[in-house]
Amino acid sequence: MPERIVVPFGPQHPVLPEPIHLDLVLEDELVVDVVPSIGYIHRGLEQLVQKREFTEYVYVAERICGICSFMHAVAYCQGVEQIMGLEVPDRARYLRTIWSEYSRLHSHLLWLGLFADGMGFENLFMRSWQLRESVLDVLEDTTGGRVIQGTCKVGGVRRDIGQEKLDEIHRGLDSFEQQCLDLGDVFLNDETVKYRLQRLGIVGKDEAYALGAVGPTARASGVPVDIRETGYAAYGDLGFKPVVETAGDCYARCAVRVKEVYASIDLIRRAIDGIPEGPLDVKVKGTPDGEYFSRVEQPRGEVIHYLRGDGTKHLARARIRTPTLANIPMLVKMLPGAQLADVPVVVLSIDPCISCTER
């Protein structure tokens, strides 16, 4: 029987964009067991809820994670609005949806680039990030911020997008979609990519469901769970259907994200076509008194903001469950059986965000 050794992987590693630490138990080059360790980041963001008024804390919520900052803001504001019984205007709901889907495009294209880099495909990395730049340009043009938007607030949104700008965005989606299709064709059909990703890190549907996986990680294993189907923001008006694959390997997780890029473009089109006129926000009177579980579909999966107010201007409690935390048990299940050289690809396939996870 080969001798077993323990190799530490992370929290700093040339391939890892996030400080996750794994103790890999190896027999020769084969991974036979994994022990994860998290806890390298702590910023006290949940304690800040006791020091910032509930209308101000949205700025803190946005900074839980830079990549999915707008969706953290939506989850937080949505929770406070439900506690206070506020009905967000329709135009604000549609604007939240447009910016959420642009944030998803930003995140997925960033991940596709990092994933290509993890495979050693530098040209594909550069092309993915080149397309991401055009997404960030739209976000900057419409919100003033490339990564942290700052446009979501309790009761609605802070900024509008004029019809002329909406028409310009709509026209630009055609060429952007074609470029994404060309990029996706490489990820989905290139023989080298398929050789690196297929039959690697396989987790079946039943196992993924039992482990509580969320987002593309779950949908790649055939679990059709997507919180956008609940109809929050304007998704209930847009006829959304989740992207699902069944192979449960690294290739399937990549395919889900590639196809979600196409789905996000379609959702933005439909949101622009259907956006109504009207106010951007409602007046916020009083203070939150009650509790609510707010659920939003981030690029990595379902995020939960549990909020509790006690009738004062400061919330009594804010607790966040992020998708990466839910997907780490899946990662531990994927790695045994992989070669040491494939560990970075498997880790990246869940799109880990440790900044989100630990706060």
Q: What confidence tens digit (pLDDT) does each residue in 305-358 have?
A: 999 999 999 999 999 999 999 999 999 999 999 999 999 999 999 998 887 787
Question: Which tens digits make up the pLDDT trace of 88-131?
Answer: 999 999 999 999 999 999 999 999 999 999 898 999 999 999 99
Res. 184 pLDDT band, cuts 50 70 90: very high
4-9 and 152-153 beta bridge pairing: unpaired
Pick 15 or 227 by higher pLDDT: 227
Closest to 157 in 3D by CA, of 223, 36, 58, 44 = 58
Binding site residue list for Fe cation? 68, 356
The binding site consists of 46, 65, 68, 320, 353, 356
Q: Which residues pair with 7 in a beta bridge?
A: 24
Give the sign of the dihedral formed by CA 268, CA 166, CA 177, CA 71: negative
Name the binding residues for Ni(2+): 65, 68, 353
Burial classification of residue 6, based on how many CB atoms lie within 10 Å of its CB (0-12 exposed, 13-18 middle, 19 or more buried) = exposed
Model confidence at 1, in pLDDT bands (50, 70, 90)?
Answer: low
Considering the chain, what percentage of its residues have pLDDT values greater than 90?
Answer: 83
pLDDT tier, 2 (very low <50, low <70, confident <90, very high otherwise): confident
- 122-171: pLDDT as tens digits: 999 999 999 999 999 999 999 999 989 999 999 999 999 999 999 999 99
Mean pLDDT of the chain: 93
More confident residue, 9 or 140: 140
Here the tokens at position 177 are 């979609």
Region 72-84 average pLDDT: 96
pLDDT band at 20 (very low <50, low <70, confident <90, very high): confident
Q: Crossing angle, helix 90-118 and helix 250-274, to 10 degrees? A: 150
Tell me which amino acid residue 284 is.
V
Q: Looking at residue 140, what is its pLDDT?
A: 96
**With contact defined as beta carbons under 8 Å apart, do 23 and 37 qualify?**
yes
Provide the pLDDT for residue 94: 97
User: Which residues are documented as binding site for Mg(2+)?
Assistant: 46, 320
Please name each of the domains of the chain with its CATH number.
Answer: 4-358 (1.10.645.10)
Over 206-273, what HEC string results?
A: HHHHHCCCCHHHHHCCCCCCCHHHHCCCCHHHCCCCCCCCCCCCHHHHHHHHHHHHHHHHHHHHHHHH
Residue range 35-62: mean pLDDT, rounded? 85
